[in-house]
Structure 1
Amino acid sequence: MRKKLQYCIFLLLPLLLVFSKVSLAQAPEEKPEDKPMLKLGGALRFNYNLSTWKKDQLERGGDFGFDLFRINAEAAYKGIKLNAEFRHYSQAFGGAFLKQGWFQYDFDEGSQLQVGLNQVPFGIQQYNSNNWFFNMTYYVGFEDDHDMGVKYIRDSGRWQWQAAYYKSAEEFVFGLAEPSPNRYSYDVTGRNKENNQLDFKLVRRLGDSLAHEIGYSLQGGLLYNIDTERNGTRYAGAVHYEYKSSHSPWNIKLQAMLYRFQPAYADGADLDFVEMGAYGANYNVANRGEIYTAGIAYHIPVETKLLQGIDLYNNYGYYNKRESDYENAHMNVLGALFTAGPMYIYTDAAFGYNHPWLGPEWTNAFTTGTPGDTKWHMRFNINMGYYF
C-alpha cells in the first residue's frame, strides 16, 4: 500500500510543479507604489528673547519659554501621497492649527499635482531668508505663504514652472465671518477675505551645477468685502535670484517685488490699508508697496561629537510704502544657526524700524509707523528645536 502511494505521488509531482509555475506566473507583481508608506516626525522648540523696547523684560533679563510642538506626517499608497504638518503654539500665539496639508499625485519624476493647503509659488522658496524671523516679505504675506487650492509643478532640471489656483487662504471659518488670525502665514483678514487667486512662477537654472536660479513670479486675485459683499482686487509681481550649491558654502538671495491691494470698501470708507493676521493677532498693512530683500549666508562644517555645522547669515528687508504719510520700514537680522545632531539652534539679533514684531508699535507699524519718533529697536532671540 505504501509503495502504491509513493508511486502515485511520484506521478503527480510533475503536474504539481507545472500548476505551481502557472499560478506564480499569473500572480501580479506588487509594485513599490502599491505598498503603504507612513513617515511620522515633528519638533519641539523653546525660545529665549530680550527686546530693547520692553523695560520690564530688560529688568527680568529676558524671557525663556515654550515656542511650539508640531507633528509631521508623510504617507503614500497606490500612487497617492499625503503631506501634513500640525502645529501647537501657546494660546497667545494662535494656539493649534494646520500649517500645511495636501494630497499629491506624481505624473512622473518631474511633474506633480498638489491639492489642499500648500505653499503659494511666489518668490524665493522655500524661504526668502536664512534666519528664524524670516524676512520682510513674510510679514505681508509673500514668504512661505500657504493657501487652499490646486498647484501643478513641472521641473526639468534647468527649467521649473509652477501654476496654481487658490480658492481661499487658510479657511478655518466659513461664511461671512471674519477670517481668523489663528494661522501660520500672513493673509488679508478683518473685513476682507482672499479668494480666487492665480499664481505663476518660472525659474531658470544656470551654470554647470545649476547653482544660479533666476525667477519671475506673478499673482492676482480677489478680495471679498464682508460689508459691501463686493469683490476688490489684488496683484503682485517679483523678480528673484538665488545662488545655492552643494559644492559651495555660500548662499545668496536677492528679490524685488511690488504689490497692490484694492479692497471694495463702502462709499466714504476710503481706507488705504487692509488688515492682515497670523499667530492670533491682526495689524494694518499699506494697500500699496514695494519690498526689496537681500540675504547672504556662509556654512562652516564642524566635525565634533556635539556640533556638526555653523551657518552665519545676514538678511535685510526694505519696505517702501506707496501711500502718502506712511513711513517706510526696515528689517535686518544678523545671526548664526548651530546644527547639533537633531537640534537646530538659531541665535539672532533682529533689528526693526517700523516693524510690528521688532518695536513697540503693533497695529500701525506697517502703515503710518510712528512719525517723528521712529527708532531702531532690537530683539535678541535664541530658538532651540529638537527635530525628529
Structure 2
Amino acid sequence: MTFSFCWFATCSLFAQNTPEVDIGGALRFNYNLSSWKPEQKRRGGDFGYDMFRINAVAAYQGIYVNAEYRLYSQAFGGGMLKQGWFGYRFNEIKELQVGLTQVPFGIQQYNSHNWFFNLGYYVGLEDDHDMGIKYMHLGEQWEYQVAYFKNAEELRFGDASAVSPSRYSYDVAGNNKEVHQANIKLLYKWGDSTRSRLGFSGQYGGLYNIETKETGDHYALAVHYEAGYKLWNLKTEAMLVSHRPEDAEGTSEETITMAAYGAPYEVAADFNLYTLAVARDVPVSWGPVSNLQFYNDFGYMQKAQSGFEDSVMNVTGILVTAGNLYTYIDYAAGYNHSWLGGNFVNDFAAGNPNAKWEARFNINFGYYF
C-alpha cells in the first residue's frame, strides 16, 4: 500500500556542514469492484480518495530525521504517523535509528509486490513499525539488525488505555499491549547473476494485560529467502508465531485482538504462515510508461487451534510505471480473509467453514513526489 524511495539523508554517508531538508509525498486514488458487495457491483464499483501523505527528511551534522505522515479517510483511521525516527550513520554500513522505526523481521522493505501486501501484513508481520531503538550493520555479504521496542505506537497515554486502532501497522490490541520486544535479523548475501539473500528473523516480547495487570508473552520466528535473476524477483518466507497473553478468567486463549486502519479484529493466537511471491519486470517505451511488473503473491495462514479454518490470500497483478505515477492493477482473492469478503471480525481467528473464495478487482493510482 505504499512505494519505497531512497531519500537523500538515508543515502548520504557522513555529516552535513549545512542543514538540509527534503519534502516529498504522495497522492493516491483507488478504484475497486468487490465480489461480495452486490450494490457496489450494480453501480460498476467505486472510485475515490485513498490517501495523501507527506514525507520529510532533514539532516545536519550527521544526525537526521525521517518522518511520514498519512491522511486516510476517517473510516480508515484518519491521520496517522506511519514512521518517524532520528538517525545517525557511523559510516557506510553502520546506522542507528530511534523512534517509530520499521521492525527488523522478514523480507524488507516489503515481502510482496502488490498494493495489498501479503498475508503477513494483516497479522503484524510485514512493514510493521514500533517505538524503540534499532542498530543496523549492512555489509556487502552479511547484514544484521538488532532492536529493542518499548511498545507499539502509543496514541492515548492513559494509565490503562487500550491501543488505538487509528494506526498504520497491525499490533496487538484490545486488553493487551505489546511491551519490551527484542528483535534480531541476520542476512547472508551472495551471487552475481542470481542475487540471493537468505535470512533468519526472530522476535520476543511481552503482552501487558490492562485488565489483569499481568504480562504474558509472544514470539515469532522466520526463515526467508529472496532472489533476483535478470528481470525476475522471488520472495518466500516461513514463519512460526505464538501469543500467550495473561487474560482474565473466562477469556479465550485461542485468539488475540489486533487493530489498524480504524478497526480491530480477532487473530488466531498460534499459527504458521507461508508466503511465496514472484515478479517479472518488462521494460517498455510507451510514451511515459517505462516498465510493467507482472506478479503473483500468495500467502497461507495455518492455524494451530483445532476447528479453526485456515486463511488464504492470492494477488495477481501488474505495476505500471509512468514517470512518478505508479499504478497497481490487482485481482486479490481471499478465503477467510477479513479484508477480502469475510465477516471481518474473526476471519483470521476461527474463520468460517462455509466461507467462499471472494475477490476484489482493484486499481490504485499513486503519484509520488
Q: TM-score of the superposition, structure 2-length normalised?
A: 0.95
Is it true that 1:262 corresponds to 2:211 in the alignment?
no
Distance 2:37 2:250 in 1: 38
String of CA shifts for 1:135-191, please: whole Å, max 9, x gaps.
000000000000000000001110000000000001111131110010001000111
Match of 1:379 among 357, 360, 367: 360
Match of 2:283 among 266, 277, 301: 301
Other-structure match for 2:73: 90
SS at match of 1:57: helix
Is it true that 1:242 corresponds to 2:220 in the alignment?
no
Q: Following superposition of structure 1 onto structure 2, how do residues 342-381 of structure 1 map, counting pairs within 5 Å? A: 342-371=324-353, 373-381=354-362
Distance 1:268 1:170 in 2: 28
Distance 2:299 2:214 in 1: 34
Deviation at 1:124, TM superposition (A): 0.4
Distance 1:194 1:34 in 2: 40
Number of aligned pairs? Answer: 355
Distance 1:360 1:323 in 2: 19
Deviation at 1:208, TM superposition (A): 3.2
Q: CA RMSD in A?
A: 1.1
The one-letter amino acid of 1:123's match is G
Other-structure match for 2:133: 150
Other-structure match for 1:207: 191
SS at match of 1:33: coil
Distance 1:36 1:311 in 2: 38
Distance 1:317 1:276 in 2: 19
Other-structure match for 1:193: 177
Deviation at 1:209, TM superposition (A): 5.9
String of CA shifts for 1:43-74, please: whole Å, max 9, x gaps.
00000001001111111110000000000011
Other-structure match for 2:145: 162
Other-structure match for 1:274: 256
Deviation at 1:270, TM superposition (A): 3.6
Is it true that 1:220 corresponds to 2:204 in the alignment?
yes
String of CA shifts for 1:245-277, please: whole Å, max 9, x gaps.
6xx110000100010000001233243111100
| Contact 1:117/1:147 (<8 A) preserved | yes
Structure 1: 4+ residue segments shifted above 4 A: none
Match of 2:124 among 133, 137, 141: 141
| Contact 2:135/2:146 (<8 A) preserved | yes
String of CA shifts for 1:81-126, please: whole Å, max 9, x gaps.
1100000000000000100000000111110000000000000000
Other-structure match for 1:310: 292
Distance 2:91 2:243 in 1: 38
String of CA shifts for 1:9-56, please: whole Å, max 9, x gaps.
xxxxxxxxxxxxxxxxxxxxxx96121110110000000001001111
Distance 2:132 2:218 in 1: 17
SS at match of 1:330: strand
SS at match of 1:130: coil
SS at match of 1:268: coil
Distance 2:318 2:301 in 1: 24
Distance 2:349 2:41 in 1: 28
Distance 1:106 1:295 in 2: 32
Structure 2 unaligned segments of length 5 or more: list them. Answer: 1-13
Is it true that 1:39 corresponds to 2:19 in the alignment?
no
Distance 1:193 1:98 in 2: 19
Q: Following superposition of structure 1 onto structure 2, how do residues 31-70 of structure 1 map, counting pairs within 5 Å? A: 33-70=16-53
| Contact 1:45/1:385 (<8 A) preserved | yes
Larger Rg: 1
The one-letter amino acid of 2:98's match is V
Q: Following superposition of structure 1 onto structure 2, how do residues 312-331 of structure 1 map, counting pairs within 5 Å? A: 312-331=294-313
Distance 2:250 2:365 in 1: 49
The one-letter amino acid of 1:191's match is N
Distance 1:270 1:281 in 2: 20
String of CA shifts for 1:307-341, please: whole Å, max 9, x gaps.
11100000000000001211001000000000011
The one-letter amino acid of 2:324's match is P
The one-letter amino acid of 1:198's match is A
| Contact 1:81/1:103 (<8 A) preserved | yes
Other-structure match for 2:11: none
The one-letter amino acid of 2:199's match is G
Q: TM-score of the superposition, structure 1-length normalised?
A: 0.90
| Contact 1:158/1:210 (<8 A) preserved | no
Structure 1 unaligned segments of length 5 or more: list them. Answer: 1-30
Structure with more of its chain in helix, by fraction: 1
The one-letter amino acid of 2:87's match is Q
Distance 1:191 1:101 in 2: 26
Identity over aligned residues, as a percent? 54
Distance 2:298 2:341 in 1: 16
Distance 2:178 2:165 in 1: 13
| Contact 2:15/2:60 (<8 A) preserved | no
Other-structure match for 2:104: 121
Deviation at 1:344, TM superposition (A): 0.3
